[in-house]
Amino acid sequence: MINAAAMVLSAILTMALGGGGGYHPRQFLLAGIASLAVAALFWRLLPALAAPAMPAA
Amino acid sequence: MVNLTVAGLIVVRRARRLGQQPGDSGDAPAAAPAPFRWNLLAATARLIREAVEWPVPFRAMLGSPGSGLVGALYLAQFPSLCAVRAAAARNRRHLFSPSSRSGSAPGRCCATGCCAARISARTVPWGMLGLALFSIDLWLPARPPVGGTRADPVSAFLAQPAGWRILVDLFGIAVSGRRLYRAALRAVADRERPAPARPARSAPTT
């Protein structure tokens, strides 16, 4: 459900940024900058996330 | 096709045999499935309320669709990107798709540590950083050429350094976002899930 919600949110964002369709390469730039912020957030969360490595199935 | 089917049957039979416990005949009935909840919104709200009590898997669960969100945004732009940077309508999809999809395999190798066959949450921020940097780098060559859009054939597209740069960026986005980031987050969510809800034998990554 959360994945589906993310997809819907992405579609809404794309429509909002695109302003009625067409090609908008600046969306790559905006997504990249937003991803930088998420990367910084995950670096802060890393001590909580990182536990001893687990064996893969 | 027949060979593949027979090989698949053999693999499944061997896997089932390996999965049996000593003394288990393999014919024992499986546990009864939980009843299906038709009210999906209520069921989702209940699951989220339960997940909030477990901060680490909850954060992993919230973060996991992040790459899907970015990926869906890119997918919406792909047809236009193809139209602007590489024409040949029949071929352009075949040009971009292998680049983004082939990133999955090396990304999975990185996420699982190849030889060590281990998954670590330490790849999560690196995956998102890679996704960010490749996305920003994609913005430059993805801009329409000066003088309007140019519908180059695929050969002309590949003859330009910018064309290869786009393909490398798509490959890097696939490696970073789909595997280094998402696979590791899913593994974290699977690892930290409360024990009763964890399946007996599951692959933590996809």
| pLDDT tens per residue across span A34-55 | 888 888 888 888 777 765 544 4
Query: Among all residues of chain B, which has the CA nearest to that of A16?
Result: B73
* Residues from chain A contacting residue B83 (CB–CB below 8 Å): 23
Partner-chain contact B56 A48, CB within 8 Å: yes
Single out the residue of B205, B202, B189 nearest to residue B55, CA to CA.
B189
**What dihedral angle (degrees, nearest 10) is formed by the CA atoms of B102, B104, B108, B110?**
70
Cβ neighbours for B107, distance < 8 A, ≥ 6 positions apart? B174, B175, B176, B178, B179, B180, B183
Contact, B205 vs B119, CB < 8 A?
yes
Residues 3-42 of A with CB under 8 A from B: 3, 5-7, 9-11, 13-14, 18, 22-29, 31-36, 38-40, 42
Token pair recorded at residue A37: 């912020």
- Which residues from chain A sit within 8 angstroms of residue B64, using beta carbons? 2-3
Residue B191: its pLDDT value, please?
Answer: 75
Chain B closest CA to A6's CA: distance in Å?
Answer: 5
The pTM of the full predicted model, rounded to 2 decimals, is 0.63
Interface of B with A in 25-64 (CB under 8 A): 40, 44, 55-56, 59-64
Task: Check whether B99 has a pLDDT greater than 60.
Answer: no
**Burial of B44 (C-beta count, 10 Å sphere; 0-12/13-18/19+):** middle
pLDDT at res. B133: 92
pLDDT band at A12 (very low <50, low <70, confident <90, very high): confident
Q: Which residue of B has its CA nearest to A26?
A: B139
Residues 159-198 of B with CB under 8 A from A: 187-188, 191-192
- Give me the residue from A6, A46, A54 closest to B68, CB to CB: A6
Please give the Cα distance from B176 to B168 (Å, whole number). Answer: 12
B16-67 pLDDT, tens digit per residue, is 665 555 555 555 555 666 777 778 888 888 888 887 787 777 777 777 777 7
Instruction: Categorize the per-residue pLDDT at A4 as very low, low, confident or very high, splitting at 50, 70 and 90.
Output: confident
CA distances from A32 to A38, B6, B10, B139, B150 (A): 10, 46, 46, 9, 25
With contacts defined as CB-CB under 8 Å, which chain B residues touch A51?
A: 121, 191-192
Can you give the pLDDT at residue B159? 80
